[in-house]
Amino acid sequence: MVTVTKGSNTLLDINFHDTSEISVPPKLIDQILGQEKAIKIVKKAAIQGRHVLLIGDPGTGKSLLGAAASEMLPHDVMEDILVVANPKNPNNPRIVTLPSGEGKIRVEMAQERARKEEGRRNMLSIFIPILVVLLVMMWAKFDPQIVPGALLAGIFLFMVMNSMRGRSEILVPKILVDTANVTTAPFVDATGAHSGALLGDVRHDPYQSGGLGTPPHERVEVGLIHKANRGICYIDEVGTFSIKTQQQLLTALQEKKFQITGQSELSSGAMVRTEPVPCNFILIAAGNQETIRNLHPALRSRIRGQGYEVFMDKVMEDNITNRRKLARFVAQEVAKDLKIPHFTKSAVEQVIYEAQRRSGRANFLTLMLRDLGGLIRTAGDLAVERGHQLVEETDIIDAKNLAITLESQITSDTIEKYKEYNLVRIKMGLVGRVNGLAVLGNTGGIVMPIEAAITPALHSGAGRIYATGQLRVIARESVQNISALIKNYLGKEISNMDIHIQFVGTHGVEGDSASVTIATAVVSAIEDAPIRQDTAMTGSLSVRGQVLPIGGVTYKAEAAARLGIKRVIIPIQNYGDLKLDKQYEGLEIITVSHFSEVLRNALIPSKAFIADRFKPDTAIEMEEEEDLVVVQKKQNTSSNPTVTT
């Protein structure tokens, strides 16, 4: 039994023994967490028959929304679709639509007629040769010399009649879409389907002459868009379809019917083209931000003009209501899996803590629920292995170390190599070398040493910045921005210097969260000031020295701790985002808002004075807007207005 507890300091304000006491909603739409905006739009789309484009990260519930939409569609308007032979033009089979369940009845009736006709023809093919043999033998008065010839003639006649018995007279309709046993509107997942599976196809017939071939209408194969008639066609990563396929999909959306023909020009099926086949479906297309660039403009315009575009949320607010929803999510995953035991309350609270941690933001919970579901199943497997009747808190904690992503495994291996070869000298101070922090994927924190060296330029005023490590666009631009900061504050002409920046042991760097690290390394190299190697840092940097927030701060800080680093410098705005595991609670976290604070904490104490050169400009707090208007009026009345800074 679930009860509410007031004044509790636990993550959940409800009391229950295990998740078997938490009820799971029967409808899919009620099982979706945190996507309130998307849920409202999908409900409208289901009622009004609108198309929807869902853009967001994997695991946020896009496919579940599509399946939920099919439950809200009426199922009493389902249709059976048949393809029927066309005697006048066999390569243009006819299409017949019937109310749900009647298609199967019509096919069975046609099959029964065909069986009777086949039986009659079989009888004739046997009776006529026998009659001919008897007549010949009677005419020859059963002459023994004539009997063998008559029998051979009868057998030959039997074979001729069977070979001449064509299939044209026993052509049975083929049912393409059968909705006889359907209780809900169809939900068809067409993700990754090739053009033939998506749009329909006509099989090749190697026997096209002599009466041995298969009738064209029997070679027609229905497409997924036709199976989705009166229902939902869900396509994830729709941008991966070829332009031609997207154009054909657009035609199907416009006309609500689409002819089936052979997809290969080298196949005899290309000669067959059916009448238009109904495909009146609601398209729910999905993908990530890359999908927007690869989506055919006309197809996107059709979706936007006759539907909605939705950007999926990655996090939801961390409040009591949403924590209860996460507890229900755990119960849902157990009910779906059917292989793992239910979770205790303390285990559920550990899942909620992990949701807080994975959100990467203070006061939010992650909505990457597929990954969270993987943790739940791994913990359940551990509980089964250990013989536990219920999944306990320790199972969740151990599962976090077992169910880690490939990126986390790679970064862990890299950290072990750093330790083995002593690549990070924690007890030293080194000039031009800084321990940066980065994230591989979404969860793999890694220490990324960056080194800088200064050499004279080849010609006066021809100084350049050289950065190695296959930097990508944003990372290259962040390197260029650092030169402006150094010119403004250091008071040295760097145009006569070549600045060499190396991302040690790292390739393919992207993002600007290493800006603080690069700037610190360059200043250290120019001023010959050693950097504390027991310190790591992360943060974006503006050209005026402001330290800006970044992502993945928890995973970055934990990577530093695993390597043995004692201190981590992070942007002050990211402090609330930190959710360190208990084993890393001894790590010293230093928050900064300006580059001068970074230098003061990163340089060895005897060189900390260099930070004074980068002190920020004095900020003037602006007055209220109404006061500014008044001041402006007064200045405008003055004959010699002055500007105050």
Round to whole Å and give the CA distance between 330 and 352: 10
Among 62, 227, 345, 556, which one carries the catalytic annotation? Answer: 556
Round to whole Å and give the CA distance between 79 and 278: 9
SS3 of residue 303 by DSSP: helix
Round to whole Å and give the CA distance between 489 and 419: 36
Tracing tokens 């060499």 back to the chain, one arrives at 500
Round to whole Å and give the CA distance between 450 and 419: 17
Tell me, rounded to whole angstroms, the distance of Cα 330 from its chain centroid: 21
374: nearest Cα among 400, 342, 407, 335? 400
513 is catalytic: yes
Round to whole Å and give the CA distance between 184 and 413: 49
CB 231 within 8 A of CB 70: yes
Q: Which residues pair with 498 in a beta bridge?
A: 455
Tracing tokens 């229902």 back to the chain, one arrives at 231
Locate 132 and state its tokens: 């001919």
Neighbouring CB atoms inside 10 A of 491's CB total: 8
**CA 226 vs CA 140, 174, 238, 279, 484: distances in Å:** 65, 14, 17, 5, 60
Going 532 to 538 to 541 to 546, the CA torsion angle's sign is negative
515 is catalytic: no
**CA 628 vs CA 620, 621, 625: distances in Å:** 13, 12, 5
Among 100, 359, 478, 513, which one carries the catalytic annotation? Answer: 513
569: amino acid identity, one letter:
I
Neighbouring CB atoms inside 10 A of 470's CB total: 12
Round to whole Å and give the CA distance between 524 and 1: 63
Cite the DSSP H helix spans in 564-604.
595-602
**Cβ-based neighbours of 82, under 8 Å, separated by 6 or more:** 95, 96, 97, 98, 103, 106, 107, 173, 174, 175, 176
58: nearest Cα among 360, 271, 366, 342? 366
**Cβ-based neighbours of 547, under 8 Å, separated by 6 or more:** 516, 539, 540, 541, 571, 572, 592, 593, 594, 595, 597, 598
Round to whole Å and give the CA distance between 499 and 466: 6
Number of helices and strands in the chain (H, E): 19, 27
Locate 583 and state its tokens: 């084993």
- For helices 320-337 and 345-359, angle between their N-to-C axes, nearest 10 degrees: 110
Locate 390 and state its tokens: 């219920």
Q: Which residues are designated catalytic?
A: 513, 556
